[in-house]
Structure 1
């Protein structure tokens, strides 16, 4: 998701329609879990800008190692 405000809109809409959901925090990310009508679990997630930036830096390092042939 784009930001915490978007997640809050989802929470409000689900609550308004009596759709049960669970919230969890994993590190710097907020996760919202719900079941669709076929009981398939869906996950909505939003990260803080700081955690997303850290992941981007890590991704660049992984890509560079791959380019350099280091596995």
Structure 2
């Protein structure tokens, strides 16, 4: 069974805890080819910084559980 992905390239998001980051856009997706590997996304926020998050809803550290929400 493959990972359950939350975000895809081009999605617009914000972070519930860090509103001062502003809105963000998913600019890159990375998927591991190894079984059990990570799925990551990179998000460019309005504050000019790129931040990376785990993008697998089956992982307890998924960006959804840390506060990243789709707009």
Larger helix proportion, structure 1 or 2?
1
Structure number with larger C-alpha Rg: 1
- Work out which structure has the larger RCO, using CA pairs closer than 8 Å and 6 or more positions apart in sequence: 2
Larger strand proportion, structure 1 or 2?
2
Answer yes or no: same fold by TM over 0.5: no
Coarse TM-score class (shorter-chain normalised): 0.3 to 0.5
TM-score, with length taken from structure 1: 0.39
